[in-house]
């Protein structure tokens, strides 16, 4: 479970993110390390795609379709601005942590030489780079008990680009180092469903996928939608 994250900075954007939950939180399933970004979103979309196998049958107008699976993919892009040099260093480090989460863990082999033990590289994969992602209620795993957790899945690509027009902070102490004033990030995330959505014809979790269940008795002014129970009658209850 992704713990509640809180930005320590006292600037307006940090206070807004802490108050509203407007932050992108990534958690590695290998070591449970967490990295969080303020959600300066530039693009955000989710795609729910059902796959069907179609077989043409002689004499039929339409092919025979059999259901295969439904997949959910998420594409998100966001800006990471820095308000000073230290913030730029921290932003670049967080980008590095996110990229590190894309790599699997391998088992190491201990070898002793001259009283010194070293760990050598191994080709045996130990853990795959699964990740939990959370963005308020729009990217979350809602369990039946109402818990709002990170969504399990894997990242297929991360695009990192410094905005060259914004410029760089330059650190000349101990060699020249560049820290972008504005970084633009995007990633593609494939969701791994952990629970059945519908069981025996009943939706198991009314909160799926955006936490919008109206069954808790709390009204926000919206009424229950009309439900069509037969082709010839509409109930407005």
Alpha helices in 83-134 (DSSP H): 85-100
pLDDT in tens, the chain (237 residues): 566 676 777 677 777 777 777 899 999 999 999 999 998 999 999 999 999 999 999 999 999 999 999 999 999 999 999 989 999 999 999 999 999 999 999 887 666 666 676 666 667 889 999 999 999 989 999 875 555 789 999 999 999 999 999 999 998 887 789 999 999 999 999 999 988 888 898 888 888 899 887 654 445 555 555 444 444 443 433
Evaluate whether 150 touches 36 at the Cβ level (below 8 Å): no
Compute the distance between CA of residue 133 and CA of residue 140 in angstroms, rounded to an integer.
Answer: 7
Among the listed residues 23, 25, 76, 21, the one whose alpha carbon sits nearest the alpha carbon of residue 47: 76
Evaluate whether 133 touches 26 at the Cβ level (below 8 Å): yes
- Number of CB atoms found within 10 A of residue 134's CB: 24
Sheet holding 34-38, edge to edge: 34-38, 23-28, 131-134, 151-162, 182-191, 64-81, 40-55
pTM listed for this prediction? 0.80
């Amino acid at each position: 479970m992704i713990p509640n994250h809180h930005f320590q900075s006292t600037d307006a954007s940090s206070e807004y993110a802490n108050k509203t939950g407007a932050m992108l939180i990534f958690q590695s399933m290998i070591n449970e390390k967490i990295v969080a970004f303020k959600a300066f979103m530039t693009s955000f979309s989710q795609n729910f795609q059902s796959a069907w196998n179609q077989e043409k049958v002689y004499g039929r107008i339409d092919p025979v379709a059999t259901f295969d699976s439904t997949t959910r993919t998420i594409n998100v892009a966001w800006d990471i601005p820095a308000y000073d040099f230290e913030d730029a260093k921290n932003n670049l480090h967080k980008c590095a942590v996110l990229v590190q989460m894309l790599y699997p863990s391998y088992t190491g082999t201990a070898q002793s030489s001259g009283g010194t033990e070293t760990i050598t590289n191994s080709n045996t994969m130990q853990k795959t780079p699964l990740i939990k992602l959370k963005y308020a209620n729009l990217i979350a795993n809602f369990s039946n008990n109402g818990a709002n957790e990170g969504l399990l899945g894997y990242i297929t690509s991360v695009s990192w680009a410094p905005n060259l027009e914004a410029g760089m902070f330059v650190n000349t102490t101990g060699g020249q180092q560049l820290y972008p004033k504005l970084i633009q990030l995007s990633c593609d995330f494939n969701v791994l469903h952990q629970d059945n959505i519908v069981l025996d014809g009943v939706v198991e979790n009314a909160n799926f996928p955006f936490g919008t269940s109206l069954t808790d008795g709390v009204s926000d002014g919206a009424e229950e939608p009309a439900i069509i129970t037969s082709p010839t009658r509409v109930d407005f209850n």
